[in-house]
Amino acid sequence: MSRQAKFWMVAGLLAVVGMAFRVSWNALRDVATAIGADADAAFVYPLVVDGLMALALVAALVLPQADRKFALRVLAGYTAASLVLNYVHGLVPTLHNAGRTRLADWAPAHWALVLLASSLPVGSIFFGSDLVAKVLHHKPEPAENTQTIAKRSVSDQGGSADADRVESADESPDPEPAEQPIPSVLAVPAKAVAAAVGRPRRATGSVPQSARAKVPTRTAEELLAEARSATADWPEVELTADRIREAVRTSAANARTLRDALKAERAESADRPALHAVPDPTPTTADSADEAEGEEKAS
């Protein structure tokens, strides 16, 4: 819709509202006079009712969802009250410029109409002040253009592409297979070492034990056998804890223990004397002949 069409629509709406306000003015003024209002009060009485209706309509267009419902309730209530008073003005001919008079022949109805007409000004003060306060304290959210939304990062838009990969702080991933630190292989017997390695680990996380993956553990003998096999052709200089840890895939503490054990085995092998082959003591045929010849010469 063009701007000119919007202008004429708003202008037509204001004209209709103005004429409706003028029609309702006469009825509300006569009702105010009938309940005892003076000339000045009766003249401004229509502004109290119909004016608050206009104020509630503007507030409903400005306020957010929760406050908008309140403004619409005020608009509906005062519209119904104005309709009732206009209806009574049409039913009772004596209200037309007759001064103070009864609004209905039935006493309860008269009392109810007087209560309604006299309470509207007080309600206008209360509801009108509340609506104005809500409008003044309302801070409209800044509108974001298309370029700003397009330039925002994925994390600013409330989601991340890798959100499913983020794990809870309470549920840490299972650690890599690692063995418990073992005492020195040389100082402790093999049974004690195996018992230390086979001791169950203490659970530290909040993940249930049934949901955790079973981590395979190796005994001290298995670790030492793997380390011997992996370092069989290594020189003494390269026999370090870091290389053993990478080759056997174990913890740093176990790697240091294995290093010390392997170095101790190599030192023991170096100190041990070399064994030489011993000839067979069984005499040969030539030796037997020489011994017989020597015995004959001696005799």
First to last CA, the chain: 151
Nearest to 117 by CA among 104, 105, 130: 104
Does some domain include residue 96? yes
Calculate the alpha carbon distances from 120 to 97, 194, 237 in Å: 21, 92, 102
The answer to whether residues 182 and 93 belong to one domain is no
In sequence order, what DSSP letters do the residues of 7-75 get, joined into one string? HHHHHHHHHHHHHHHHHHHHHHHHHHHHTT--HHHHHHHHHHHHHHHHHHHHHHHHS-HHHHHHHHHHH
pLDDT of residue 161: 45
Cβ atoms of residues 79 and 73 within 8 Å: no
Please give the Cα distance from 188 to 204 (Å, whole number): 28
Angle at 193 between CA 187 and CA 196, to 5 degrees: 130
Please give the Cα distance from 103 to 110 (Å, whole number): 5
pLDDT of residue 206: 62
The answer to whether residues 20 and 133 belong to one domain is yes
pTM exceeds 0.75 = no
Say which DSSP state 35 is in: T
Q: How does pLDDT run along the chain (299 residues), one tens digit per residue?
A: 788 888 888 888 788 878 888 888 888 888 888 888 888 888 899 888 888 888 888 888 888 888 889 999 999 999 999 999 988 888 887 777 667 778 887 889 889 998 998 899 998 889 988 888 888 887 766 655 545 555 554 445 444 444 444 444 444 455 555 555 555 544 445 555 455 555 656 655 566 666 666 656 788 888 888 888 888 888 878 888 888 888 888 888 888 888 888 888 888 877 766 555 566 555 555 555 566 666 665 55
The answer to whether residues 132 and 190 belong to one domain is no
Nearest to 267 by CA among 293, 245, 236, 240: 236
| Residue 260, domain extent | 178-196+218-269
The answer to whether residues 94 and 184 belong to one domain is no
- Total domains in the fold of the chain: 2
pLDDT of residue 169: 44
